[in-house]
Structure 1
Amino acid sequence: MSTLAHTMMTAARSVESGLGAPDDLDRYSYTEAPGADRVAPPAWEGVETDLGRVGRRATGSRGRGLHGQLVQQLGQMIVSGDLGADRPLVPEEIGQRFEVSRTVVRESLRVLEAKGLVSARPNVGTRVRPVSDWNLLDPDIIEWRAYGPQRDDQRRELNELRWTIEPLAARLAAGHGREDVQQRLADMVEIMGHAYAQGDALTFSRADTEFHSLLIQLAGNRMLEHLSGIVAAALQVSGGPVTACDRPGEACLTHHARIVDALAAGDAHGAETAMRQLLTVHPEVERVVPAPREH
């Protein structure tokens, strides 16, 4: 096994929360915001105020510390519908409820605005935007939708999108003889095999995600490469931890190995066919597209 493979097999699995000490926070002194025409604020009752619990899933750990965790909490609330469209988000109330500083609230709302979830306007304040304005290809939004009421729709849409992206990427990758990347793909399959034998679903999932990201990069198409984050998010949110197949298994390993072999042989058609076979192992995809025919 290569050094890369060994490193991945022995990588630490704990995710640091990144929380700061409570005494370090510049908290709000909560007061009711003035304004006779003010719309009723969001109902915060029942919301987890311990931000340390927000990052309990590996896919939710991209942002570190209170800032990243507040983005996660508010994003989940917006996507789930707990904070409806055109509802006001009052910074003072957010700061008080979650016991975070002005800076944390301000930066968190800026991140959500960049994702299309909220808009901030003078004399209007910050409000939740309609779904049509959201960046639905953002990995965070993919995750939030996948764990909310839209879970079934999100999984179906992701699988349909993967069916479009990955077979093409596999075909294109066969024309790029980068031995270093092909070796890394082979390493990921080896890791998956070891993880499957040991019943280690988490390591299997991580190696699977790396495999598919590498394959898209190997395709040599920069626009496709920008979509690799979508594929990674799709693999992480389909049931957690999950894989390109519905769960680790011999068939899943076999199809991954066939893709690697086809790439090494420069067989574009074989790589594309093997990828389509891999994707149709997933039951969600089987309801969307027919299994590929053998030629």
Structure 2
Amino acid sequence: MPMGLPRLGRVCLCLLVAGLAPLGALHATDDIAPQWRFVHNAPETEGDQRYAYHWRVLRAALEVTRSKYGDYRLEPGRPMSEKLQVIDMQRPQVGLNTLVLDATQTLEEALLPVKIPVDKGLLGYRVFLIQAADQPRFAGVQSLEQLRQLRFGQQREWSDVAVYQVAGLPVVTGSSYEGLFHMLMLRRFDAFGRGVSEVSGELAHWRKKYPQMAIESELLLYYPLPVYFWFARTDEGRIRARRVEEGMHTLMADGTLDRLFAEEYAATIEQLGLDRRRMLMIANPHLSSNHPFDKAAYWFTPTP
């Protein structure tokens, strides 16, 4: 500090120097290697909270690998449908480079998965959004044959469509995620199958507009539906996948993934009473044989 600087000047200079620190930190965070910039799929519509948990898990996986790999940036891309997300992931220009999505054999051929299920397989447990007045129709369903007498809504491009169809369950498809909730209320179909991890937030959002919407109270449909983080089959994509896989193994080993899962879903699982529902099981024709179903710690199972 110059000795001849007036007191006011010294104070101003100190404030200026102090004020520069955050700017320096900001520029430092901009200096992140391109492979550690994770641009992920954004919510498709207002109120779409389906993936908030998944990005918390990804952030945790990146945090536990920070000392080895360095800083990272996690940010959403522009909103788009699942079909466009997969297309965007395969483009060479800057766009999405990180995806969370349920596995299909076709997707495995296009993208590189980290085969540790982010939600412990919870998405494969399905309950139904219905019109509350229709609950008596579902109360009498005891078998798949009886379930086949109902119609089920799904988005046209979702892998669930073929799962339902192969099981003989009639499907009415819609062109958009948001539109399916409107179609249910217009009775275009009888039920909208939703993952346990999705349904409570969706009901809370849509019941403001449709107070007659409800979660069916007695049935639980299950088909294997592992949800993974996905990366491009490029050098950068493989580097990202390697870091995330190491992080996910650490989260499994130290109990962090179980803790995050419980924080996010334990109350919902209890509220929906999964262990008290009649569970009907169907196959998933989309899956390859190369999934870690033999690792019990990776998967959630409702227990009575």
TM range (shorter): under 0.3
Q: Normalization by structure 1: what TM-score?
A: 0.24
Higher strand share: 2
Structure number with bigger Rg = 2
Q: Normalization by structure 2: what TM-score?
A: 0.24
